Chains A and B, each alone.
Chain A
Amino acid sequence: MQVLNTDVAIVGGGAAGCYAALNLHRAGHKAVIVCKGLVGKSGASIFAGNLVLSGRALGNSEEQARNTAEFLIKYHNQFLIDQRWARRCGQWIENVYYPELEEAGLYLRRDEQGHVVTSPGKIRSVAANVQGNSGVPFMDLRRKQVIKAQIPRLEETAVTALLRKPDGSVGGVFGLDVISGEYVVLLARAVILATGYSDRLHARSTGTREMSGDGIAMAWRVGAAMANLEMQWWHTNDIADPPAWQRMQVYPNPMLGSDKSARMVNSAGEEFFNQQQDDPLAYGPYTVQLKALARQVHAGKARYDGGYFAGFDHCDPREVDAYTTYGKSYRQLGLRFPEELVEAAVTAHYRQGGIDVDPETMRSSVPGLYVAGGLGGHSNGLIGLATYDGKVVADGVAADLARLPPCDLPEAEIERERRRLEELRVSRADGIAPAQVKERVRAMMWEKVGVEKSAASLTSALDDIAEIRLTLLPRLSVKRTARGTNYEWLDAIDVINMVDACELIIQSSLERKESRGPFMRRDFPLQDNARWLVANVMQRTENGFRFEQRPYELPFFQPGFVTRDNLEVAW
């Protein structure tokens, strides 16, 4: 077992984790990134298709500046956001983020004359090199910045537990190097969790292979409070088949250099979503789209898992190909592009909720534990927001470091975690493969905690969770018991986190008795701003949990109604 010491342990190598590491490094603090995949190559950040402009950046008018803020608060977070944080974040994106990225070398796509190519409309986007693929060069740049700064990376290393100091504060992490099979202990004065939104909990989800709700599960085990875990976002037009492509989106956002975007057609061949008509101002197409699909599902003209189609058959292929990668999947499937449409399906995308944090410092409710990016419960994804979190958390941690003592080796905790993991690396005659249990959990979440849910489906999901805990988790069994490259062992570790995270999400979903944006309850179809314009905070207690409501202040934008059928609300 390797034991390492550092000032700050950062769990996660995406936009938030990398930026936090770079900022801490710049401020003279030692940081180590522990990443379950590869820094800048796994996780959610590589999926950032385009980059939203903010404020007055790049000649945005006053109206466009205001629209971006409104988009973020209303369409992107359904008012479940600290509006002052949103304002600070917007100003930072405008004044720091873009100049800093470009100075470091990020290529924001230009045309032949040298103008930065944007999408038109009330909210404008730019792309790193090419729209649909921006996250790849973006994160590649971050990876190289981390390498250049010589910030140590522990890659393909799964953090399995947060380690605590005697006073209960978090002071390190316990991990498994998946390739060698060796354990590693990283002691630190503070830990930043930046594992991304907790995806891959549903049969269809955009999260990458390694994402399994680890951040939520580990933080809950050390007593961190959660916020708005039920607020799950969905992609409405991801490719239905093949299965490995379920996280490939037919982007609904306007294309760079064009006012057009993908349109959607139901099983009867009728168009039911076309951004130019349904959302001409590019206001948060995602929720608008999802609600349009829900109406089709209710009318029997589509299913959430397929039976409807998306594509660009109303566009000139040269227009699509000029600045986007959107044609590539069609061509790779052998479809005629743009004449043919592809079958689409819903996919669980990022979770707006997560670990409850103070957005001024990114402190969680547990001393020594900080959170940044999609895992935090204070805002929805977007790579710019996740990056801003990386800055805020670095500032927050740096300010606290003097007060956070180094952590002594917590031998008892380490021994307990070591034993827990060893017990998962066994082969049993009547055993069940961890990957099968993962599939079972995902199928259950899709069926009962999918786009539309009710008290009945959620209660039934809780029964399933109890049954999985009782009958399946004790029988987890791996075929090969060697330590190194044992992905079954990793699956066993993952599935326990998944079950824990799912249970919290289901409980939170039961608690919110309304529908809001992408959160749809069949038994509570109304959006209820009188009772539920609040953070749904889940606190851990001695014998379980309790919920608390924390109202949001509405200094800049207000919903403008008290209750309304959620499907009738644009956002």
Chain B
Amino acid sequence: MVSDAPVIAPSSPLPVGDARRLGQIEQHDTLAARNSRLAVGDLLTVRVRRFDGTAELQEFQVPYRKWMRVLDALNWIADNAASDLAYRWFCGSKMCGTCAVRMNGREVLACWEAVEPEMTLEPLRNLPVVRDLLVDRAPFERKVAELEPWLERRAPYPSFPEPLSHKDMKDASKALDCIGCMCCYSACPVIGLGDLTDFAGPAPLVQLGQTALDPRNHDVKIAHSLARTGIFHCVSCYKCEEVCPAAIPIVSQVIEPLKAKAAALLPKMAKHPRALRAVVALRGRVDPSALVLRVQGWRVLGNLPRALRLLVRGKIDPIKTLLRRKTSAAAAAARLLEGKGRR
């Protein structure tokens, strides 16, 4: 298929299998493209959500300078137009993780992301706004501390250097790239549900993953931490992975391995996902009535009116479930789920 749109070659072969980069090339959305859209001296239209008790959008015209980042634009505004603008940053170079904001509805690290010709800057979601773009990090910090993300060794420390290989540390090492910027925490739809779930959120899970995916850590300690994560509320929507400025494969290399650990160490916590997996392995598809039976057991009798409603709407089909016809999909699912390719 030939497209008329200008093809912008990526600067180097892009890593594949990484949600963050999927679709970038197709949409001509590479950094090379974003950086070449503006010329020095062009005026950017920057709308900043100001909040000091009441919220309003304030518009600024900011002259573009070479390789301008969102933070450079904010600094320009503070130096030239609104000296009272509240926003947090310390290092300006993707290390401290304190300058994250939402730009045109997407979480970005202000020091790292190229400006856009028109951009609306808002504070992160899912955290209380103190003023303007400044959010209160305390809820996140509290959650991290509650998870006790530190090492309790399964065996006494031998001596330096201890036996350990990068293979053992592959997932933990990815989590160690986390700078605690909370882009993922803001983007997470489950966190957005507020107190409806006890889900700790992607950022606290990544912080936990740094030690919980470390083979030196004790299973009892890991289980103790995982029990407080509500990890199975994660819907694997990959929003976190998409916005992570450190390009951490949050779902595939942190949350999924943590879920596997939770399923192994805390089987009760994983009742629903284990049942789902067993059903899919058996039938090659999601069978709601089998799932409900496995998860609820005899308690399902207390929910008869609901079961009837589901039956009437065609959501469950007990007859089909009972007949259990084996399909080729079931064989494939069993091979995939129980064979190789799973950790």
Contact = CB atoms under 8 A, between A and B. Distances in A.
Given A135-B95, A478-B84, A436 B79 contact: yes
B92 A480 contact: no
A468 interface: no
Interface size class of A (residues with CB under 8 A): 35 or more
B148 to A, nearest CB: 7
Contact of B83 (A37, A108, A247, A488): A488
Interface in B109-149: 111-112, 130-131, 134, 136-137, 145, 148-149
Interface stretch (B61-69, B230-238, B294-302, B319-327): B61-69
A487 B86 contact: yes
B40 to A, nearest CB: 10
A333 interface: yes
Contacts of B54: none
Contacts of B150: 105, 144-145, 148
B176 A112 contact: no
B130 A485 contact: yes
B11 A38 contact: no
Interface in A366-408: none
Contacts of B214: 105, 107
Interface stretch (B30-38, B191-199, B253-261, B272-280): B30-38
A248 B94 CA distance: 9
Contacts of A246: 92
Contacts, number: 180
Nearest to A328: B94
Contacts of A2: none
B47 interface: no
Interface residues of B, number: 69
Contacts of A543: none
Interface stretch (A3-11, A95-103, A296-304, A518-526): A95-103
Interface string B62-99: 00011111011001001100111010011111111110
Interface in B153-187: 153, 157, 159-167, 169, 172-173, 176-180
A130 B177 CA distance: 8
B69 A245 contact: yes
A493 B161 CA distance: 46
A484 B131 contact: yes
B12 A244 contact: no
A438 B143 CA distance: 37
B90 A129 contact: no
B229 interface: no
Interface string A42-81: 1100110000000001100000000000000000000000
Contacts of A42: 90-91, 96, 98
B93 A242 contact: no
Given A41-B96, A105-B150, A109-B166, A337 B11 contact: yes
Contact of A38 (B71, B96, B210): B96
B224 interface: no
B289 interface: no
Given A144-B149, A247-B91, A336-B11, A129 B176 contact: yes
A57 B98 contact: no
Interface of B: 11-12, 30-36, 52, 65-69, 71-72, 75, 78-79, 82-84, 86, 89-98, 111-112, 130-131, 134, 136-137, 145, 148-151, 153, 157, 159-167, 169, 172-173, 176-180, 210-211, 214, 216
Interface of A: 37-38, 41-43, 46-47, 57-58, 98-99, 102-105, 107-114, 116, 128-130, 133, 135-137, 140, 144-145, 147-148, 179, 208-210, 241-248, 317, 328, 330-337, 433, 435-436, 439, 478-480, 482, 484-488
Given A99-B159, A110-B169, A439-B79, 5 more contacts: A110-B164, A140-B210, A246-B92, A247-B91, A333-B35
6 contacts: A107-B164, A107-B176, A111-B165, A140-B180, A247-B91, A487-B78
